[in-house]
Amino acid sequence: MAWTERQRLMLQEMGIRLWAAPEVPEAAAAQEVVEVAATAPPPAVAAVPPDDRAAAIATLPWPALREAVAACTACGLCQSRRQTVFGVGNPSAHWMIVGEAPGEQEDLKGEPFVGAAGHLLDNMLRALNLTREEASPERQVYIANTLKCRPPRNRNPEPEEMAACEPFLMRQIELIRPRLILAMGRFAVHSLLRSSEPIGKLRGRVHRYQGVPLVVTYHPAYLLRNLAEKSRAWEDLCLAAQIADGAG
Ligand code: SF4
């Protein structure tokens, strides 16, 4: 991809380290990247104007997007995370699952939906013949969170943190172009639908995000505490399966 000087500078400021000059031999370029990473101070939080930053992220191909997330310092969560949690699954998946923010286990493992909530999600997916493990795009889902870094002590995300992280999820959705989005939990739902209505009022029908059908359901962590809602979540998954099949 050919980058303009302005894009190149902006992406460098965001901490994306893909722009060694092409004529530099590979080994020397790698050395240069290591040295820059080791010596350059982290860019100031939100140093790039938000609109310019979002526009730059909206041009990134998948590998550069992953790099951009790993290097991101656009909100204060970069200071307490162990690592970013980009997402997992098939980048051509028909189903995309969007959760909320990484918890302690996710922060440790670098993968969304691990631990008990992840186990429940895997079982729910398995019941629909879906998986996060390697499989065809029909069967292997892609799972991403709205927020890529763990809020300290699992506190609720702040609106400015959600806003700073949103361009990454938007770009993931744009690149994956799933047939269906399953939004799990109120922060994912509120972010994607720009709605503050409770999940109970938004579930049971099909919404749209950038033209992609979107079904709302409860977060598996909530289901673990509210077992009675599991049957409703299963109804939501069946609705989602119906939509995904119909979109085929
Ligand atoms: Fe960047 Fe998102 Fe992490 Fe904030 S939460 S530092 S915006 S990747």
Kindly report the CATH number that applies to the domain delimited by 83-247.
3.40.470.10
Separation of CA 78 and ligand 1 centre (Å): 6
The pLDDT of residue 171 is above 60? yes
Among the residue ranges 23-37, 74-88, 153-167, the one predicted with the least confidence is 23-37
pLDDT at 2: 54
156 C-alpha to ligand 1 centroid (Å):
14
Percentage of the chain lying above the pLDDT 90 cut: 76
- Atom number, ligand 1, closest to the C-alpha of residue 147: 5
pLDDT of 246 reads 85
The pick from 78, 80, 166 for probing ligand 1's pocket by mutation, whose C-beta has the most ligand atoms within 8 angstroms, reads 78
pLDDT tens string 196-205: 999 999 999 9
What percent of the chain has pLDDT above 70?
80
Q: Which of 14, 147, 172 to mutate to test the pocket of ligand 1 (most atoms within 8 A of CB)?
A: 147
Relative to the CA of 75, which ligand 1 atom is closest? 4
Please check whether residue 56 is in contact with residue 14, taking contact to mean a CB–CB distance below 8 angstroms: yes
Mean pLDDT on 83-94: 98
Going by alpha carbons, the residue nearest to atom 5 of ligand 1 is 149
Query: In this model, does residue 166 exceed pLDDT 90?
Result: yes
How large is the average pLDDT for residues 65-93? 98
101 close to 144: Cβ distance less than 8 angstroms: no
The pLDDT of residue 209 is: 97
Nearest atom, ligand 1, residue 69 CA? 8
Atom of ligand 1 nearest to the CA of 72: 1
| Residue 49: pLDDT band with limits 50, 70, 90 | confident
Rounded mean pLDDT of 1-20?
A: 53
User: Mean pLDDT score of the chain, rounded to an integer?
Assistant: 86
CATH 3.40.470.10 residue spans of the chain: 83-247
The residue-averaged pLDDT of 74-95 equals: 98
What's the CA-to-centroid distance between 162 and ligand 1, angstroms? 8
Q: What is the pTM of this model?
A: 0.82
